[in-house]
Structure 1
C-alpha cells in the first residue's frame, strides 16, 4: 500500500473539508461531519481530519500503486486550488 499525507493550514480549513467532501460525493462515495471526512475514489481513499484549534486540515491518502496515489494527489491539488481562490495554499505531500 502506498500512503501520503499533507497539511493544509488555513482559516478556512473546516470549510475546505465540507466543500471537498460534498463536491466529491457527487461522483464517488464520501462521508463527512464537522471534523472528519472520507472519500473513496476508484483508485484509492482519502481521509480528512480538521483541527479547529490549529486551523488545519490533515489529508491522508492511500492507494495500491504509486501511479494511483499520484492521481489522487493531483485531483486534490486541483480542487483545493479551485476552492482557495482568495488565498494561496501550497500542498506538499509526504510519503508515509
Structure 2
C-alpha cells in the first residue's frame, strides 16, 4: 500500500467534498458529512476533510503502482467541480 496527501486552498472545500462524494455514492461505498468523507474506490481509499480555507485529501492505494492513477482520478474530478477557480495540487507521500 502507498499513501499520499494534498492540501488544496479553496473557499469551497465543503462543496467540492460533497460533490465528489455524491458523484461516487451511486457506484462506490461512500460515507460523508459536509466536513469529512470516506470513499472506497477500486484502486484504494479516499479520505477528504474540509474547513473554511482548504480541502485536504488523503489517498491510500491498494497497490503502490496505482497511487499515481488514483491521485489523477481524484484530482481531475475535483478540478471539474472547481471549473470557476484554479486549484493547486502538490501531492506528498505519507509514511
Question: Could you say which residue in structure 2 is the equivalent of 1:5?
Answer: 5
Q: Deviations over 1:55-88 (max 9, x none)?
A: 1111100013222211211111110111111100
Of 74, 91, 94 in structure 2, the residue corresponding to residue 93 of structure 1 is 91
2 CA distance for matches of 1:83 and 1:72? 17
Pair 1:45-2:45 in alignment: yes
Give runs of aligned pairs for residues 59-70 of structure 1, distance below 5 A. 59-70=57-68
> Unaligned regions of 5+ residues in structure 1, if any?
none
CA distance in 2, matches of 1:49, 1:83: 16
Q: Normalising by structure 2, what TM-score?
A: 0.92
In structure 2, stretches of 5+ residues that fail to align are: none
CA distance in 1, matches of 2:34, 2:26: 19
How far 1:27 moved relative to its partner? 1.6
Match of 1:69, SS state, is: helix
The number of aligned residues is 94
> Which residue in 2 is equivalent to 1:29?
29
Q: What is the TM-score with the length of structure 1 in the denominator? A: 0.91
Instruction: Measure how far apart 1:28 and its partner are.
Output: 1.1
